[in-house]
Amino acid sequence: MALATVDQATGDRPAPRRRTGFAGQLQAGSGLGLGIAVLWFSLLVLLPLAAVVVTASEGGWSAFWAAVTTEQTAAAIRLTVGTAAVVTAVNAVVGPAIAWVLVRDEFRGKRLLELLIDIPFALPTVVAGLVLLSLYGVDSPVAIEVANTRGAVVLAYLFVTLPFVVRTVQPVLEELDPEVEEAAASLGASRVTTFRRIVLPALIPAIAAGGALSFARGVSEYGSLVLLSGNLPFRTEVTSVRILSSIENDNLPAAAAIATVLLAISLAVIVILDVIQRRAVRRG
Amino acid sequence: MAERHHHPRPKPGPVALALRVAVIAYLFLLVAWPLFLVVQNALASGLGPISDLLADPDVRHALRLTAVAAAVSVAISTVFGVGMSVLLVRYDFPGKRILNALVDLPLSVSPVVVGLALVLVYGGRDGWLGPALEDAGVQVIFATPGIILATTFVVLPLVIREVVPVLEEVGIEQEQAATSLGASAWQTFRRITLPSIRWAVLYGVVLSLARALGEFGAVKVVSGNVLGRTRTAPLVVEEKYLNFDRDGAYATALLLVLVSVAAIVAVSLIRNDRETT
């Protein structure tokens, strides 16, 4: 039981991800279950992803490099990574603000805002594109027309990545005791100081974790751009669209090479997430 | 969700008020208004386009295919997800940390890459396993199994992400008690573990279902998008919009919007209901 109490003590602070706790050894039945689960996971996820990397490397380094550095592909990768970075920076500011309003503010209709946050996660991406097009497309009622411009890519990324930072910061903010902030204020700390010294340090790991997810999602986005961005080469064509046109031209090695770049970015993001969270759990 | 730590604040300060207004404006412009306009556009000429749509045999086929593929994928990923969560939380084995990180991988892989990856392995012409499977009479790519594989890939982590934190929180005392009283592993799972995670499983299933019904990029690559055979509902939206059938596109989109909004509302209701009891 000692193990369980230790785990509960550290469990007071919600670590955004799984920790290992009180684990038992595998028995015959659970061992078989693990075998089946890993086999299925390998056939569905690992083997296909390995096939992408292997196909990309079949032509050697020079073929890989040639495929990912054609002018059009390089422009697409730059646009994708640059826009995802900008959108993640926006989310790192807007996300905690939304989470703060949801946790600390009280007003009628707040539940509706909660629903709005989750809609981009559940809405089919192609429908998300159509949704944005109806307000920001041709004949925009607000006279902001971004269809077929780089603004469309920013808008689509902002839409699909909306929930990530909000939903990672929110539980941390809920656990944060307002009394600590009140104590700081009563000791003469200004609002800015209280925010900077008390609130922000507690939120940083969650913001980083949510930001990493939002960056990864932005970089890999495809569906919401199909109708919205026009996919103009050198202007609004993102990496996923480049991969798809290589597939449609039956040039699978080139598609695999560009896909490998995206996979490397995803993997880097997962590693960063893991490091941030380990650090957060240790500190807690 | 926030009600638990409710601190009465009778009058918000100017900063809080400004923040509230800014957040509402942002969400209104980014989500609420566009969503409302889609519903409005879809219903602009009455219910005509929707009944036209439902009368089209190809669209009906697409809707049915979407529903079947989503149901099968969610069933598979639920069984896999619950099993995997129990293994990851309750057992120790070599490679566990890596597996733990890898199960989240599908969340950050581009749908187009998912499709490409499946084609490279299961493609009938020169995939790694595809030709052998085709000799055995199973066509995966450009057929329903491919659509199911792609959808399952995409929704795979969702159940796990909901169930694992709950499993960690409930602890093992009850399970150990059951085992020490002579319950078998299966009895313990069914009588103790499963009831304690049932809500988490339900959230995971609803979220997975919403995602599965709407999966676009991965399905587009593996399905071949053949009218009346492998075209799913989200692909119908694109095809109709690009062919200047705006009414049809908006009507199909409306159906998908209704399903995903219903899913979100369901999850929110279950969550609130459970937190107040």
Mean pLDDT of A256-273: 86
SS (H, E, C) A198-264: HHHHHHHHHHHHHHHHHHHHHHHCCHHHHCCCCCCCCCCCCHHHHHHHHHHCCCHHHHHHHHHHHHH
Nearest to A116 among B16, B31, B102 (CB): B31
Q: Tell me if B105 and A94 make a contact (CB, 8 A cut-off).
A: no
Amino acid at B33: W
pLDDT bin (cut points 50, 70, 90) of residue A13 is very low
Nearest to A216 among B108, B118, B186 (CB): B108
- According to the model, what pLDDT value does residue B276 have? 61
Place of tokens 């209704």: B258
CB A122 within 8 Å of CB B260: yes
User: Which A residues in the span 134-173 are in contact with B, Cβ-Cβ below 8 Å?
Assistant: 134-136, 141-142, 158-159, 162, 170
**In whole numbers, what is the pLDDT of chain A averaged over residues?**
85
Burial A120-159 (b: 16+ CB within 10 A, else e): bbbbbbbbbbbbbbbbbbeeeeeeeebbbbebbbbbbbbb
- According to the model, what pLDDT value does residue A27 have? 75
- The arrangement of secondary structure in B47-276, i.e. its CATH architecture, is Orthogonal Bundle (1.10)
- According to the model, what pLDDT value does residue A7 have? 36
The residues spanned by each domain of chain B are 1-43, 47-276
Q: Tell me if B185 and A21 make a contact (CB, 8 A cut-off).
A: no
- According to the model, what pLDDT value does residue B227 have? 76
Query: What angle is formed at CA B37 by the lines to CA B61 and CA A238, rounded to 5 degrees?
Result: 70
Instruction: Find the residue in B nearest to A101 (Cα).
Output: B20
B112 touching chain A per CB within 8 A:
yes
CB A158 within 8 Å of CB A129: no
Helices B194-214 and A125-136: angle between axes, nearest 10 degrees = 60
Could you list the pLDDT tens digit for every one of the 277 residues in chain B? 444 455 555 567 888 899 999 999 999 999 999 999 999 988 887 888 888 888 899 999 999 999 999 999 999 999 999 999 999 998 888 888 889 888 888 888 999 999 999 999 999 888 899 899 999 988 999 999 999 999 999 999 999 989 998 998 888 888 888 888 888 888 888 888 889 899 899 989 999 999 999 999 999 999 987 777 889 999 999 999 999 998 899 999 999 999 999 999 988 888 777 766 5
A60-283: CATH topology is: MetI-like fold (1.10.3720)
**Integer Rg of chain A from CA:** 22
Backbone angles phi, psi at A61, to 5 degrees: -60, -40
Contacts of A267 in chain B (CB under 8 A): 105
A49 touching chain B per CB within 8 A:
yes
Over residues A171-223, the pLDDT tens digits come to 999 888 888 888 888 888 887 888 888 888 888 889 988 998 899 999 999 99
Place of tokens 């009414």: B247
Nearest to A34 among B33, B93, B207 (CB): B93
Query: What angle is formed at CA A211 by the lines to CA B96 and CA B164, rounded to 5 degrees?
Result: 35
Copy the structure tokens of residue A2. 């000692």
Amino acid at A9: A
Strand partners, B91: A24
- According to the model, what pLDDT value does residue B277 have? 52
Nearest to B9 among A11, A27, A106 (CB): A106
Q: pTM value? A: 0.87
- According to the model, what pLDDT value does residue B182 have? 86
B25 touching chain A per CB within 8 A:
no
Q: Tell me if B111 and A223 make a contact (CB, 8 A cut-off).
A: yes
Which of the residues B113, B260, B272 would you substitute to probe the A interface, choosing the one with the greatest number of A C-beta atoms within 10 Å?
B113
CB A236 within 8 Å of CB A148: yes
How far, in Å, CA of A78 to CA of A76, rounded? 5
Q: Over pLDDT 70: what percentage of chain A?
A: 89
Q: Tell me if B1 and A162 make a contact (CB, 8 A cut-off).
A: no
Which of the residues A13, A119, A274 would you substitute to probe the B interface, choosing the one with the greatest number of B C-beta atoms within 10 Å?
A119
B244 touching chain A per CB within 8 A:
no
CB B24 within 8 Å of CB A113: yes
A250 touching chain B per CB within 8 A:
no
Copy the structure tokens of residue A45. 């996820």
User: Does residue A91 have a pLDDT over 70?
Assistant: yes
B120 touching chain A per CB within 8 A:
yes
Q: Tell me if A23 and B169 make a contact (CB, 8 A cut-off).
A: no
A183 touching chain B per CB within 8 A:
no
CB A209 within 8 Å of CB A168: yes
Q: Tell me if A24 and B8 make a contact (CB, 8 A cut-off).
A: no
Copy the structure tokens of residue A47. 């083997």
CB B178 within 8 Å of CB B187: yes
Task: Say which residue, A8 or B170, is predicted with more confidence.
Answer: B170
User: Does residue A284 have a pLDDT over 80?
Assistant: no
How far, in Å, CA of B119 to CA of B138, rounded? 14
Copy the structure tokens of residue A150. 């780089």
Nearest to A240 among B84, B217, B264 (CB): B217
Distance from CA of A230 to the nearest CA of B (A): 11
Copy the structure tokens of residue B215. 């999966």
- According to the model, what pLDDT value does residue A146 have? 86
- According to the model, what pLDDT value does residue A36 have? 92
Mean pLDDT of A95-101: 95
Q: What is the ipTM of this complex?
A: 0.88
Strand partners, B92: A25
